[in-house]
C-alpha cells in the first residue's frame, strides 16, 4: 500500500523511501521486493542493531535528517510531502564509509573490547564483524558475543545476536549444530525479554502452529510463479523455508489422523551410524511448559561425496511416541528432486503435544533412507537414528 501511495512522489524526486528489514534472511526479502517490484533501497538489520521493538514502523524524516513524524500514517503522508523543504546547512547527502573501513573498525573494536572487558563493547565488535565481515568472520562474531555473555549472561540483545550468528553459520558455513544453538539462544533472549516482539517472532517462525500469528513465508511459491510469469528469474534463496516457516496458524491441536506402524520394529535395517548422513534435531521452542506443544525439525545432511538416491521411495521418518504423547503428521519442505542423485539438506518437521505431567526426557526416532556412497556408486538402504531432547519449564521457575 505504501509502495503504491508513494509512487508519484518517488518518481517526481519528491521522496526517498528506505526500508529496514528485521529478519534473518536478506535473500527472502530480496525475493519479496522483486515480487512487489519495490524500486527503493532496503537495508538489512538481522541482529536488530537499531533496537527496534516491533515492526512495521513508518518514520518521516525531513531534508535535514530531522524526524517530523515518528509514527507516520497514510492519512498524514500528503501533509508530510507538502511540508516546505528544510533548508538547514546539513541538508546535503553524505557518503557512507566503505565496507573495508567498517570492517577495519570492527577489528579495532575487538582489541578495544578485550581491553575494556565490557559486554557492550564485545557486542559492538561482534556486530561489526557480522555485518561487514566475510562468512569466515562469523566464528569471530560468535566468539565476541560469547565473551560479552560471559560478562553479562542475562544480556538479551547479546543472546539474540548469538542466535543470529549461529543461524548464519548453519546457512552459510554448513555447521550442522548451529541451528539448534540458534534456537537455544533465541529462546533465552525471549525468556530475558518476554515482551520483545522481534525476539518472539523469531521463535514463532520456527515454532508450532499453535503459537503462530500467521504463516511466515507462505507467499514464496506465489511470488516465484508470478515473477516467472513476468519473464524474470526469481531471486535464489540461500535456505528454503522449512515446514514450520510456511505452516498456517492453528487455534486447536490436531494430531496425526491415524497411528502408523513402525517401519522397522525389530531394528533389522542396517544403521548408518553417521557415516553417510548427518542427522540433527532442533526443538523450537527449546523449553516449554508441560502440556504444551513444540515443533521438531529433523535435518538430514549427506556427508561429502554422498548423494540421495531419488529413483526409489522418499525417506520415511519415524518417532517412538510414549503413551500420552501426540504428534502431527511429518511434513517435508524439500520434495524429492527430479534428478536421480542430489545432495540437498532435507528437513522434516512435525509437532509434539506433551502430557500435562511431562518431565525432561529424550525421545527416539529414525529415518529410513536410500543413499549412494558417491555419484554413480553403490546405493544403500540405511536407518539413521536420532534423539529428540525435550526440556520443560515448571511453574516454580
Residues from 205 through 224 that contact other proteins (CB under 8 A): 205, 214, 216-217, 219
Residue closer to other proteins, measured from CB, 235 or 388: 235
What region, left, alpha or beta, does residue 267 occupy, with left being phi > 0 and alpha being psi -120 to 50 degrees?
left
**321: which 3 cell numbers?**
511416541
Are 195 and 156 in contact by the 8 Å Cβ rule? The answer is no
State how far the Cα of 339 lies from the Cα of 347, in Å rounded to an integer.
Answer: 18
Rounded Cα gap, residues 171 and 186, in angstroms: 16
- Which part of the chain contacts other proteins (CB under 8 A), choosing from 65-73, 301-309, 323-331, 350-358? 65-73
Could you tell me whether strands 379-392 and 287-288 are parallel, antiparallel, or unpaired per DSSP bridges? Answer: parallel
Residues 10-29 that bind other proteins (CB under 8 A): 13-23, 26-29
77 with 15: CB under 8 angstroms? Answer: no
How many residues line the site for other proteins (CB under 8 A)? 94
| Partners of 369 in the β-ladder | 382
- Neighbour tally for 160: CB within 10 Å: 25
Question: Of 37, 70, 359, 362, which one interacts with other proteins (CB under 8 A)?
Answer: 70
CB of residue 109 to other proteins, shortest distance in Å: 7
Torsion of CA 327, 333, 336, 341, to 10 degrees: -110
Whether the bond into 56 is cis, omega within 30 of 0: yes
* Shorter beta-carbon distance to other proteins: residue 96 or 335: 96
Contact range with other proteins by CB under 8 A, out of 112-120, 267-275, 313-321, 357-365:
112-120
Q: Is 162 helix (H, G, I), strand (E, B) or coil?
A: helix
- Beta carbons within 10 angstroms of residue 33's beta carbon: 20
**Binding pattern to other proteins, positions 85-104, x when CB under 8 A?**
x--x-xxxxxxxxxx-xx--
* CB-nearer residue toward other proteins: 32 or 307: 32
| Region 215-274 residues binding other proteins, contact defined as CB under 8 A | 216-217, 219
Give me the 156-185 binding string for other proteins, x by CB under 8 A, dash otherwise: -x----------------------------
Residue of the chain from 8, 65, 249, 377 that contacts other proteins (CB under 8 A): 65
Distances (CA, A) of 310 to 51, 348, 373: 46, 16, 13
Integer-rounded Cα radius of gyration of the chain: 24
d(CA 156, CA 197): 13
Please identify, among the stretches 110-118, 275-283, 289-297, 373-381, the one whose residues bind other proteins according to the rule CB under 8 A.
Answer: 110-118
Phi, psi of 87 (to 5 degrees): -115, 20
Residue 144 exposure: Cα atoms within 13 Å on the Cβ side: 29
Q: How far is the CB of 299 from other proteins (least distance, A)?
A: 21
User: In the complex, what is the shortest distance from the CB of residue 230 to other proteins, in angstroms, rounded to a whole number?
Assistant: 18
Q: Does 308 bind other proteins (CB under 8 A)?
A: no
Query: CA-to-CA distance for 139 and 335, rounded, in angstroms?
Result: 32
CB of 277 to other proteins, least distance (A): 30
Q: Which is nearer to other proteins, 58 or 370 (CB)?
A: 58
* 61/321 with CB nearer other proteins: 61
77 vs 363, beta carbon nearer other proteins: 77
- DSSP letters for 211-270: G-SS-SSTTHHHHHHHHHHTT-PPPPPSS---HHHHPPP-SS----SSPPPPSSTT--SP
One character per residue 320-359, x = contact with other proteins (rule: CB under 8 A) = ----------------------------------------
**Nearest distance in Å: CB 190, other proteins:** 14
CB of 208 to other proteins, least distance (A): 16
The residue within the footprint of other proteins, chosen from 4, 12, 56, 229 (CB under 8 A), is 56
Q: Which of 7, 37, 39, 41 binds other proteins (CB under 8 A)?
A: 41
Please give the residues from 118 up to 147 whose contact with other proteins meets the rule CB under 8 A: 118-121, 123-128, 131-132
Amino acid at each position: 500500500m505504501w509502495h503504491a501511495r508513494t509512487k508519484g512522489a518517488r518518481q517526481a524526486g519528491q521522496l526517498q523511501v528506505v526500508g529496514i528489514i528485521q529478519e534473518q534472511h536478506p535473500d527472502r526479502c530480496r525475493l519479496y521486493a522483486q515480487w512487489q517490484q519495490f524500486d527503493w533501497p532496503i537495508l538489512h538489520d538481522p541482529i536488530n542493531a537499531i533496537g527496534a521493538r516491533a515492526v512495521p514502523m513508518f518514520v518521516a524524516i525531513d531534508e535535514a535528517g530531522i524526524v517530523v513524524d515518528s509514527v507516520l500514517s497514510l492519512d498524514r503522508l500528503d501533509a508530510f510531502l507538502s511540508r516546505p523543504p528544510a533548508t538547514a546547512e546539513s541538508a546535503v547527502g553524505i557518503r557512507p564509509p566503505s565496507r573495508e573501513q567498517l570492517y577495519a573498525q570492527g577489528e579495532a573494536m575487538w582489541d578495544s573490547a578485550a581491553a575494556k572487558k565490557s559486554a557492550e563493547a564485545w557486542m559492538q565488535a561482534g556486530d561489526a564483524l557480522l555485518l561487514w565481515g566475510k562468512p569466515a568472520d562469523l566464528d569471530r562474531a560468535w566468539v565476541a558475543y560469547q565473551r560479552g555473555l560471559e560478562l553479562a549472561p542475562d544480556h538479551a540483545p547479546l543472546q539474540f545476536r548469538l542466535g543470529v550468528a549461529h543461524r548464519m553459520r548453519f546457512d552459510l558455513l554448513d555447521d550442522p549444530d548451529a541451528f539448534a544453538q540458534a534456537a537455544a539462544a533465541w529462546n533465552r533472549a525471549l525468556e530475558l525479554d518476554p515482551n520483545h516482539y522481534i525476539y518472539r517472532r523469531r521463535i514463532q517462525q520456527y515454532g508450532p502452529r499453535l503459537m503462530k500469528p500467521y504463516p511466515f513465508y507462505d507467499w514464496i511459491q506465489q511470488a516465484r510463479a508470478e515473477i516467472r510469469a513476468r519473464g524474470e528469474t526469481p531471486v535464489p534463496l540461500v535456505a528454503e523455508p522449512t515446514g514450520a516457516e510456511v505452516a498456517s496458524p492453528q487455534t486447536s491441536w490436531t494430531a496425526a489422523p491415524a497411528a502408523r506402524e513402525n517401519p522397522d520394529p525389530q531394528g533389522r535395517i542396517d544403521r548408518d551410524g553417521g557415516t553417510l548422513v548427518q542427522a540433527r534435531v532442533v526443538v523450537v521452542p527449546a523449553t516449554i511448559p508441560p502440556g504444551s506443544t513444540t515443533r521438531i525439525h529433523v535435518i538430514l545432511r549427506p556427508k561429502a561425496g554422498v548423494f540421495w538416491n531419488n529413483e526409489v521411495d522418499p525417506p520415511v521418518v519415524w518417532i517412538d511416541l510414549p503413551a500420552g504423547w501426540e504428534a502431527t503428521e511429518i511434513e517435508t519442505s524439500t520434495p524429492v528432486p527430479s534428478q536421480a542423485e542430489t545432495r540437498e539438506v532435507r528437513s522434516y518437521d512435525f509437532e509434539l503435544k506433551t502430557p500435562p505431567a511431562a518431565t525432561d526426557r529424550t525421545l527416539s526416532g529414525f529415518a529410513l533412507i536410500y543413499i549412494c556412497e558417491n555419484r554413480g556408486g553403490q546405493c544403500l538402504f540405511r536407518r539413521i537414528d536420532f534423539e529428540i531432547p525435550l526440556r520443560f519449564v515448571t511453574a516454580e521457575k
